[in-house]
A = this chain, B = another copy of it.
Amino acid sequence: MRFLAVALSRQKKQMIISMKLHSTKQEVDAVCQRISEFGYKIHAIEGEERVVIGAVGTGDTTNHLESLEAMPQVEKAVRISAPYKFVSKEFKKSKTVISLRTHTGTVDIGGDEFVVMAGPCSVESEKQIIECAETVAAAGGTVLRGGAFKPRTSPYDFQGLEAEGLKLLAKAREITGLAIITEVMADKDVDLVAEYADVLQIGARNMQNFALLKSLGRCGRPIMLKRGLSSTIKELLMSAEYIVAHGNPNVMLCERGIRTFETETRNTCDISAVPVLNELTHLPVVIDPSHAVGNRKLVPPLARAAVAIGADGIIVETHPCPEKAWSDGAQSLTFEQWRTMMKDLAPYIALWKASRVGEPVLA
């Protein structure tokens, strides 16, 4: 779906009218005309596959919606009360499934598989990333993480291998078949990163970089949007709404710890954000235990909790030699720890799967 700019005022009543697939321009015009007759202002039309119309106005919305839904070319007409619309459960009840091609076939994030993404914080060298990729794949990971563009607090810290890093990631994919997730930090780099990555990651510090969010609307790749260090769940959804409203419905959310007064852990994992988000949105939700705690010892127990609470996946850091990692060494699992964690997670993932597909679970 691709949307034109959508500008719905909050004060008035809002509706979203979804046209049937492949509806013609005439059919859309007919619906728009009816909406106008009801006194609404039309804000959004035309998507790639399906036209979605946003409208705002006052009056007897219930009647208007029924009347619009009765038109043959209209698939759905809903009133939206949450400030986020396209990402809300009011708009779409069934979970969004994001499919990636990997060596195991297709991985469905938000579907019946618990997805494990892993890899180093930064791509450092061909040897390092290939070694990571092979280790990740061997233990059951399906997506390789690795930063080519690195957001660093200090201008003097390593800023990533940039384009060179992207190429190394692509090479790792070729060899192992893993899908690739990597961060994009600037709107000017979106096309470049989209050329190499299967999923574009938006870091916590850019969660409200609205210029960047807008530029993701047409990149053609799924997005992983990380929650800002002090962003509320509602703000996370509003930022996802930016991406979807600009034309890209394939967004997954990532809880990676929020900033609190506690200093024993790098951040505080707001794990109940998972069931909260599952109530509010149809987008998949992933946990990043590595950034949440910042200490490799704590990653495996938190990963177990992420499975148990019903996240759609996790993204963790692992490195051949964490103490020599160019960034985030303290929170990267050794390969040995990575393998042990995956074994440890297996029975929890089995329970997860059983509950996802509705099988009875026997104690």
Contact = CB atoms under 8 A, between A and B. Distances in A.
Interface string A332-346: 000000000001101
Contacts of A308: 301, 304-305, 307-309, 348
Nearest to A261: B259
A276 interface: yes
Contact of A269 (B206, B271, B343, B362): B271
A39 interface: no
Nearest to A208: B205
A351 interface: yes
Contacts of A147: none
A65 interface: no
B297 A275 contact: yes
Nearest to A7: B156
A293 interface: yes
A185 B211 contact: yes
B209 A205 contact: yes
Contacts of A269: 270-272
Interface residues of A, number: 84
Contacts of A9: 156
Contacts of A210: 151-152, 155, 185, 205
Given A260-B258, A304-B308, A155 B238 contact: yes
Nearest to A274: B301
Interface stretch (A125-133, A167-175, A240-248): A240-248
A324 interface: no
Contacts of A7: 155-158
Contacts of A245: 155-156
Given A242-B155, A304-B308, A362-B347, A258 B265 contact: no
Interface in A263-298: 263-265, 268-276, 279, 292-293, 297-298
Interface of A: 6-10, 83-85, 151-158, 185-189, 205-206, 208-212, 214, 228-230, 232-235, 238-239, 241-242, 245-246, 258-265, 268-276, 279, 292-293, 297-298, 301-302, 304-310, 343-344, 346-351, 361-363
